[in-house]
Amino acid sequence: MQVLVLNSGSSSLKFQLFSMPEETIICAGAIERIGFTDAIFKFSSNQINIETETKILTHKAALKLVSKNLLDKKEGVLKSADDINIVGHRVVHGGMYFNDTVEITADVKEKIKSLSSLAPLHNPANLEGIMVAETIFPSAKQVAVFDTAFLQSIPEKAYKFAIPNEFLTEHHIRVYGFHGTSHKYVSEQANAFLGNTESKIITIHLGNGCSMTAIKNGKSIDHSMGFSPLDGLIMGTRSGEIDPSVLFHLKDTLGYSMKQINTLLNKESGMLGLTGYSDLRDIELKASEGNDDCKLALEMNAYRIKKYIGSYATILNGLDAIVFTAGIGENSSLIRKLVCDDLDFLGIQLDEAKNDLRSQSIRAINTKDSKVKVLVVPTNEELEIAKQAVQLFVN
């Protein structure tokens, strides 16, 4: 069985083609910086390894580029689009509709569309990916795996907002949380590495979108994002946590429309708003060259993460490990260092030599004396999506 997994982020598209159930990767790749003229396209298989810079302004264009390379007569890995049995899609917001993986129908697509206002950077791209994939791979079963599913175990005391009850019961306004597929995968990998399924860990997913989850005995109990992916940590273009009164001030005093506020907080804030750059690699480079805005933004980013570590260590009533994952979490030794500095009180001590080493494997980067393990766990949302998609039909 061949399973193509499409993982659309707010400015990226990752893909992997698996032979299942043996979990063999036939090819893999990614498109980064979607929406820019210098987007990066990566494609690798046994036959070829491509990395090139090109103009890709939309997720639709990105998916068409992926399919073109998959089906290329000389260097592709598919003889026909009919070779694909299942296309597994990451969908960010499932709302109250979806607690598990589902086969995509017209009704499912309509519900995903209806939730787009709650995840404006993601659900529209996820839905577009589904619709394009249906035309390119018409004989394949299309499956949706929701970011919100793993976070359904968060207790009511953590997911309920302190507003009148009817907003939850009638309008389903609550904390949903996101990046659940990644948090699930890396927490399971971390538990296997620790040899302890009854662990207390904090998973820190840092990419263009950023989130943290408190996980106790394999179950999520709290999460930094909320009703939408806008809340919590400072992100590439999203503000993260902000006093709601700022929104009233923007509208009532500064004359912003609600649409302008939505655009401001989702697309013009975060690291982009602080520095003029949304890519952390650019920000780290400029900071090293003395750019004060970039240096401060990095400090703010790490400071916000530290606050959540302290909060989650409290509700977990202890801590066995913190886990860094995703593009920034796996690759930025600087961010990991800034986060772990001055956390001795919690028993977190970083080994800087280990932190500076690069590896594609799970590894511990703490000192021998550190009471809390500091792990770098490469995420593989695509494999997790493939496994869940196949399991849907096995059952």
Residue 85 counted as an annotated binding residue? no
Structure tokens at 252: 């009532």
- Residue 183 and residue 222: Cα distance in Å, rounded? 12
Q: Is 209 annotated as a binding residue?
A: yes
Q: Residue 89, annotated ligand binder?
A: no
Q: Is 170 annotated as a binding residue?
A: no
> Which distant-in-sequence residues (6+ apart) come within 8 Å of 324 by Cβ?
204, 206, 330, 336, 339, 374, 375, 376, 377
Strands (E), the chain: 2-8, 12-19, 24-32, 36-45, 49-56, 86-91, 102-103, 141-146, 200-206, 210-216, 219-223, 321-325, 363-364, 373-376
3-state helix, strand, coil in the chain (%, to 5): 40, 20, 35
Contact 77, 70 (CB under 8 A): yes
Start-to-end Cα distance in the chain: 15
The answer to whether the annotation marks 280 as part of a ligand binding site is: yes
Q: Is 177 annotated as a binding residue?
A: no
> Any binding-site annotation on 238?
no
> What's CA 51's distance to the chain center, in Å?
22
The reply, when asked if residue 207 is annotated as ligand binding, is yes
- Do the beta carbons of residue 77 and residue 45 sit within 8 Å? yes
Euclidean distance between CA atoms 247 and 243, whole angstroms: 8
Annotated active-site residue in 83, 100, 147, 344? 147
Instruction: Tell whether residue 46 is among the known ligand binding residues.
Output: no
The answer to whether the annotation marks 69 as part of a ligand binding site is no
As a whole number of angstroms, the distance between CA 257 and CA 329 comes to: 35
Q: Dihedral of CA 255/257/263/266: which sign?
A: positive
- Tell whether residue 90 is among the known ligand binding residues: yes
Would you say 218 is a known binding-site residue?
Answer: no
Is 205 known as a binding-site position?
yes
Q: Which two tokens stand for residue 228?
A: 């939408």
Q: Establish whether 100 is a catalytic residue.
A: no
Complete DSSP assignment for 187-246: HHHHHHHHT-SS-EEEEEEESSSEEEEEEETTEEEEES--SSTTSSS--SS---S--THH
Report the binding-site residues.
7, 14, 90, 205-209, 279-281, 327-331, 381
Report the binding-site residues for ATP.
14, 205-209, 279-281, 327-331
Report the binding-site residues for substrate.
90
Report the binding-site residues for Mg(2+).
7, 381
Residues involved in catalysis: 147
